[in-house]
Chains A and B, each alone.
Chain A
Amino acid sequence: MFSIDYDRHRLDNGLTVILSRDEAIPIVAVNLWYGVGSRNERPGRTGFAHLFEHMMFQGSAHVPKNRHFELIERAGGSLNASTWFDRTNYFETVPSHHLELALWLESDRMGWLLPAMTSEKLENQRDVVLNERKQRYENQPYGDWDERLQALLFPEDHPYHHTVIGSVEDIKSASLADVEEFFRTYYVPGNAVLTICGDFEAERARELVEAYFGEIPEGGVVPPLPGEVELAPTIGETRKERVPDSVPLPRTYLAYRIPPFSDPRFHQAEVAAAVLADGKASRLYSSLVRERKLAKDVVAYAFPLVTGATMLLVAVTGHAQTEADTLEEALFEEIEGLSEVRASEVDRAVALSETRLVNEVERVGARADLLSLFQTHFDDPGRLNEEMDRLRAVTREDVRAFAAEFLGPDNRALVTYVPEDER
């Protein structure tokens, strides 16, 4: 299907560098993964990894505030960053002759962030983040689903018990000292992966990376995760929450605790999710949406997380007149029906996943992100090239066995929103 060539080396300070060339278009993606996310946050500082991500755009010793955005936009690049449970990534795609600019900017904030840090910047970005929280969670119907669901699915001392956005109170408590400590602890070369993908000259790229990143000091060893990572493979019961709220339609978020991304069974979970809800011939769409007309849409997704366990999420939006109990029961019935999944359903799911993966690697930015992901979590970027075979290897029997073990009544967490007032 595709084979992505790459070359990997490590700088003396521990930074892992992956170079993957593709000269089809004169653009290049620079992608950095730091092995830090919300799972590293200590109690009282939830949301900090994400707030910190914002601070990384506030300038560094040689780059004034806003200059990063200005320079990349002026270069004709696109850029962003995101914080998730296990990692934080920073990325830009620029015309290939601006590769050096991107490396200069990324290296400056990896090595020289603190001299430029001020409390004004922190206050400003705290406001921006609190607004982001309002816009995406508080002022949104169903906006607190993940907070509720993660609390049901993961024990209080597990790093996935709290959300990436964190609590308002914790965001408000973050101090400049926290910024400094977090940076020194986690933003060290040994805890980062730099992937360059696209149009560049290999030797030149190596030299530039060495020149810009090589002088960054090694830093210490990243401390162990706070809390207790080990947990039982399933939750042992069905945990339900009913939330009367000002939502337009009933909606159920149903999650199962499943083996992590790093476990061979994770691909079975991915295929099961696709059998359930990928496309209009999927099980849940066919049954709940097309035939029984209980719901208007369904989605299912296995989160590629690595800390002890992860979740397979199914979300379904009911029609106004659909009773919450009916919706939940119908979901359970279809999911438990996976015990009789047909080979054709598995084939369809795999075919859809296959095309989607190729579509993803078509873009150098997404390709770079995948290489960084496989390096960060598996120490093996080449796993990207095996991904398709791993999915194809999943059989009907695997899906049946997986469903029997993980998708039963002894492992459900669900949050159902019901409309409370008809305005």
Chain B
Amino acid sequence: MSEESTTLRSRSAEPSPGPIRLFEAPEVAAGKLENGLSLRLAGRPRFPVAAITLVLDAGEALVGREHAGLAVITGKALEGGTVHRSGSALAEAVEGLGTELRIRTGWDSTTVSLTCLADRVDEAMGLLAEVVREPSFPAAEVERTLTEHGAMLRQRKMDPSSLASDAFLTVLYREDVPYARPLVGSVESLSRLGADGVEGFVEERYRPSRGGLVVAGDVNPSEAEELARSHFADWSGAADPGPAFPIEPERRERRAVVVHRPGAVQSEIRVGHMGAPRDTPDYYALRVANAILGGAFTSRLNLNLRERHGYTYGVRSRFSFRRGAGPFSISTAVSTEVTADAVREAVQEVRGFVEEGPRGDELEQAKDYIVGVFPLQFETAGQVAARTAGLLVYGLPDDHDAHFRERIRKVSLADVREAVERHLRPEELQILVAGDAEAVEGPLEALSLGPVEVRSE
């Protein structure tokens, strides 16, 4: 029996924690190829797998409104084939290695990733490089990508949650702000896209100079650097920083908009307003603030709407931190008959948080939570690669993760109170309900939270 394992304390008290074993974020070696491609290499052998993520400064925010969806479509069309092989031959080659390409386009970047067994990393990186550097965009494959994307947009319109989220953006941002539209574009903008646009976007944005390559897992950093060189050193070209875009709200006055879904048994609710950019000095305070308000199960919103009232299966709030100020949003789905009650409670929770600020116990709980779950993001090679890629996208320093937890721990009550006062504005909250307008309009009016506008789908 070891020293510390004395008898069990009484069952009626929660046990005290044992000795802490410190977690250290993985070491990441940084470098750069002559063509400007940043390298981040994290050897973390645990299982014989390797993860590769190529980051491109090719986010959807760079695309003008008339071509909305172009960055996303371009990413999807990459799998249509390369100058060396057709789309189906490409799929055979990639999947023959036991892996799949994951191409993700967000507002701020496009990433092309894969996870493979470590002894196949050279071949896999070769295919990834081929896809990004030498796509061929055969007309039939681009056409198919557009058709499938159109079908997906059609599905979104009939999925209550997507419908609400998409409509909410138009309520939050002025029409000329990229964030006012769904990331995936619209049926209308899709009709203006084709192989030419996609090729042009690649020509302009898929360039090493503002990109980065991350390799994580069971590959040692010097070997990974060799591989990076062999597959990317002769890639050339420079991308410019891209156009600036406005970030303005649609309106300041509080309002409720109901997107009518006749006979809906549930209402999808979104409440929020413009949030803050990733580089806000209040980033850490807002992470803590959000955990208290609606970012965890035991947050104020969830304890109220779910555990106290049983209105919903769950409610969450979040700040979408992007290069520009993404939305602050509260999301939930509730039974039609309690829609207005849930909206009232949500708005009241925001108001109460701004007026009274956080309590000391909530602050500690939220900080412990964020600090404690931090290591869970570093379990797999794929997670480490994705996390490291995120640092590249936002130009964050390489020691960001090494200091993350101490920065969270330093957040004080005053920091949270001030951040909340700066970034949460109860009088400007925009409310979006996708539900049965005939049932919810009256009760929403009765809340006197501002005008209520009903839209058909």
Contacts and interface: CB of A to CB of B under 8 A. Distances in A.
Interface stretch (A7-15, A19-27, A155-163): A19-27
Given A131-B313, A139-B160, A26 B17 contact: no
Interface bin, chain A: 35 or more
B310 A78 contact: no
Interface stretch (A223-231, A245-253, A301-309): A245-253
B117 A352 contact: no
A75 B372 contact: yes
B115 A359 contact: yes
Nearest to A356: B98
A131 B372 contact: no
Nearest to A211: B8
A27 B144 CA distance: 45
A170 interface: no
B369 A73 contact: yes
A355 B218 CA distance: 14
Nearest to A136: B313
B291 to A, nearest CB: 9
B313 A132 contact: yes
B387 interface: no
B2 A204 contact: yes
A84 interface: no
Interface stretch (A173-181, A233-241, A279-287, A378-386): A279-287
Contact of B95 (A26, A99, A281): A281
Interface stretch (A34-42, A121-129, A401-409): A121-129
Contact of B97 (A24, A203, A293, A351): A351
Interface stretch (A90-98, A185-193, A256-264, A332-340): A90-98
B115 A355 contact: yes
Contacts of A290: 87-88, 144
Interface in A213-227: none
Given A131-B313, A362-B49, A352 B95 contact: yes
A118 interface: no
Interface string A43-71: 00000000000000000001001100111
A99 B18 contact: yes
Interface bin, chain B: 35 or more
Contacts of B23: 25-27, 95
Contacts of A351: 95-98
A364 B266 CA distance: 37
Contacts of B400: none
B297 A124 contact: no
B306 interface: yes
Contacts of B46: 24, 362
B88 A286 contact: yes
A5 interface: no
Contacts of B11: 62, 104, 108, 112, 212
Contacts of B130: none
A138 B91 contact: no
B377 to A, nearest CB: 10
Given A98-B17, A204-B2, A66 B373 contact: no
A134 B379 contact: no
B152 A296 contact: yes
Interface in B47-100: 47-49, 79, 87-88, 91-92, 94-100
B8 A363 contact: no
Given A248-B157, A351-B96, A134 B8 contact: no
Contacts of A124: 307-308, 310
A241 to B, nearest CB: 20
Taking chain A's interface residues, is the majority helix, strand, or loop, or is none over half, making it mixed?
helix
Contacts of A362: 46-47, 49, 379-382
B98 A355 contact: yes
Contacts of A27: 23, 375-376, 379
A280 B148 contact: no
B239 interface: no
A379 to B, nearest CB: 26
Contacts of B99: 352, 355
A139 B333 contact: yes
Contact of A95 (B147, B298, B310, B372): B372
Contacts of A393: none
A200 B278 CA distance: 37
Interface string B1-35: 11011011001101111111111000000000000
A319 B151 contact: yes
Interface in A361-415: 361-364
Contacts of B374: 76
A280 B160 CA distance: 29
A358 interface: yes
B379 A95 contact: no
B372 A77 contact: yes
A348 interface: yes
B280 interface: no
A326 to B, nearest CB: 16
B95 A280 contact: yes
A203 B307 CA distance: 38
Interface in B360-390: 364-365, 368-376, 378-382
Contacts of B310: 123-128, 131
A317 B100 CA distance: 21
Contacts of B265: 134, 138-139
Nearest to B51: A359
B209 to A, nearest CB: 30
Nearest to A125: B310
B375 to A, nearest CB: 5
A343 to B, nearest CB: 12
A12 B389 CA distance: 50
Interface in A267-301: 279-281, 285-286, 289-290, 293, 296-297
A323 to B, nearest CB: 15
A82 interface: no
Contacts of B115: 355, 359
A335 to B, nearest CB: 19
A320 B151 contact: yes
Contacts of A138: 265-266
A207 B5 contact: yes
Interface of A: 1-2, 24-27, 62, 65-66, 69-71, 73-78, 93-101, 104, 108, 112, 123-132, 134-136, 138-141, 199, 201, 203-204, 207-208, 211-212, 246-249, 279-281, 285-286, 289-290, 293, 296-297, 317, 319-320, 344, 347-348, 351-352, 354-355, 358-359, 361-364, 423
Closest 6 CB pairs of A and B: A76-B372, A127-B310, A351-B98, A281-B91, A26-B21, A280-B91
30 contacts: A24-B46, A27-B376, A66-B298, A69-B297, A70-B298, A76-B371, A78-B376, A98-B17, A98-B18, A131-B312, A131-B333, A132-B313, A135-B313, A138-B265, A139-B265, A203-B2, A204-B2, A211-B7, A248-B154, A280-B87, A281-B96, A293-B147, A296-B147, A317-B151, A317-B155, A347-B96, A355-B117, A358-B49, A359-B382, A363-B380
Given A26-B375, A100-B18, 20 more contacts: A62-B11, A66-B303, A73-B369, A76-B368, A124-B307, A131-B311, A131-B335, A134-B335, A139-B266, A141-B159, A203-B1, A208-B8, A212-B11, A279-B100, A281-B88, A296-B151, A348-B96, A351-B95, A351-B98, A354-B98
Interface of B: 1-2, 4-5, 7-8, 11-12, 14-23, 46-49, 79, 87-88, 91-92, 94-100, 115-117, 144, 147-148, 151-152, 154-155, 157-160, 264-266, 296-298, 303, 306-308, 310-313, 333-335, 364-365, 368-376, 378-382, 457
